[in-house]
Amino acid sequence: MTDSPLHELIIADDDAGIRDMLARAFAKDFRVSAAKDGAEAIALLDRGRPAAVLVDEMMPGATGTQVLEHAKTLYPDVPRLLMTASNDTERAMGAINRGEIHRFYSKPLKVIEVRRAVLDLVERAHSEEALRTELRALRVLKETSLARGFITRVVLLGGSAERGDRVEAAARTRNFAVTRVVAGADMPAALMAQAADVVVLLRDDSIDVRALALLAHSVDEATAVVIVDGEPDVSHAVEALEVGAVDYIAAPYPDEATLARRLERAAARPRSLRDMRRLTFDLIVANRELAMARKRAEQEHLKLLNAMIRALEARDSYTAGHTDRVAGISVRCGQTLGLDVLRQENLRMGALLHDIGKIGVRDDVLLKPARLSAAEFEVIKTHTTIGASLLREIEQFQCIVPIVRGHHEKLDGSGYPDRLAGEAISLEVRIVSASDVLDALTSTRPYRRGSAPEEAFHIIDDVIGSHLDGAVVGALKQLHKEGRLTDLLQTDGDKTDGPAPYRF
């Protein structure tokens, strides 16, 4: 990112170690301004609009929530992130639900996750801002277009007073607005001054028919040119055709009613073209407004989603980060397998919420720091159906219900809860299942140590075809080989003793 004021990141924490760590993590992405307390953070905010604000809750001077409230008042669209002590998630959840903050992270921080969230939020804020600017410009254009109004404008250039009077009288019977520019006046300037529906050239030697017709069309290609001649002349009629005139009228002149009808006919095309333009503006504006509303709704869903995931993580620290990692792995796998953007987005949401049903699993089973008994495992299995029924209530999450319900199904039909097999398991479900297993194998849990990725793939190889999809596993291996999973896989576990067995 460039070194512009828009790309400033404000970080506030009274712990110098955390300030330094974050400043280093974001050094490549932003110009980082660090504050050591709440008052300093507020002073930095008053100095100008940053790209994002990331603050600690417990600080002298002002709390993180107070700093972010101030940020919201000054710059409602700037992403606001809060860091809290791990025992203070309730307050942060409240703040997220009231729309005061966009994300919160419990300490100790996983810097990679925080960085990804900040970059993601800043990118979203920028694209929303671009959309708003575009909308403003469109509204101005539309108003300009409307300001031209519904009156047909006729401009008469040159010619004798008698011929001009005749055309003007006919135009007035139709309530057209008529502007007359007599010979000697600055005709090009008069043409430039307004977008006429019809330009009537009262032909004589004092006016340059070709130049004026060209100018009228270049001011607005919809403008119709009508040439009114003295005596009929074939070469003049040909010239009229050549310059794109829509009518050529010569003496003897038609009566007033006929003349008015011919002017009206000439004006019809520009008017309908302009109406079409107005409609197009309306359509584009409506489209953009819809996109804005959709973006806003999407933001609300994301907030809800984030709050639900954090609620689960606050209870079960062992799944903390798991859903974010599975989402990251799944989306990259989906990209490798050629899924379109919409399916990638569903994949991301489905992966983020795949274990959400664990909210409904009792503490003594969910938090048991040892391997589960068969009966307890039956209880854990209900997280698939609980998750599906939780999300079924929310319209926007309908499309991810199959992922949440099906992420423990196996290709040979021995999975749960529906014992689906083969083709009945969608590609999205296969991707999330494989990413889930890969992350589970490489993370350290209370009852097992994490494996190194190579070891994990070795274990996974044994269940290709029976449990996991070979093509999906192939894509994951390719991503790993290219180093594109390094930032996602947890590799900080103690692996010196080798992995303990994994329960699929």
Residues near Fe ion (CB under 5 A) are 355, 436
Residue 198 CA: distances (Å) to CA of 122, 243, 303: 50, 14, 55
**CA-closest candidate to residue 296, choices 25, 495, 12, 288:** 288
Phi/psi at 299 (5° precision): -60, -45
Copy the structure tokens of residue 7: 């790309």
Q: List, in sequence order, the alpha helices (H) in 100-248.
A: 111-147, 161-172, 187-193, 209-219, 234-242
CA distances from 456 to 52, 154, 439, 490, 493 (A): 37, 79, 9, 12, 13
Residue nearer to Fe ion on the CB measure, 13 or 355: 355
- The residue (of 406 and 499) whose beta carbon lies closer to Fe ion is 406
> Of the two residues 229 and 355, which places its CB atom closer to Fe ion in the complex?
355
Torsion angle (degrees, nearest 10) of CA 330, 336, 339, 340: 110
Output the smallest distance, CB 432 to Fe ion, in A: 8
Strand, helix or coil for residue 218: helix
DSSP 317: G
Report the alpha-carbon distance of residue 372 to residue 376 in Å, rounded. 6
In the bound state with Fe ion, the residue whose beta carbon lies nearer, of 159 and 387, is: 387
Beta carbon of residue 377, minimum distance to Fe ion (angstroms, whole number): 12
| Choice between 313 and 355, CB closer to Fe ion | 355
C-beta of residue 304 within 8 angstroms of C-beta of residue 102: no
Find out whether 237 and 248 touch, Cβ atoms under 8 Å.
yes
Q: What minimum distance in Å lies between the beta carbon of 351 and Fe ion?
A: 9
Closest CB to Fe ion among residues 66, 385: 385
Comparison of 113 and 436: residue with beta carbon closer to Fe ion: 436
Looking at the Cβ atoms of 281 and 397, the one nearer to Fe ion is 397
Report phi then psi at 413, rounded to 5: 85, 10
SS3 content of the chain, % helix, strand, coil (to 5): 60, 10, 30
Residue with tokens 């660090």: 34
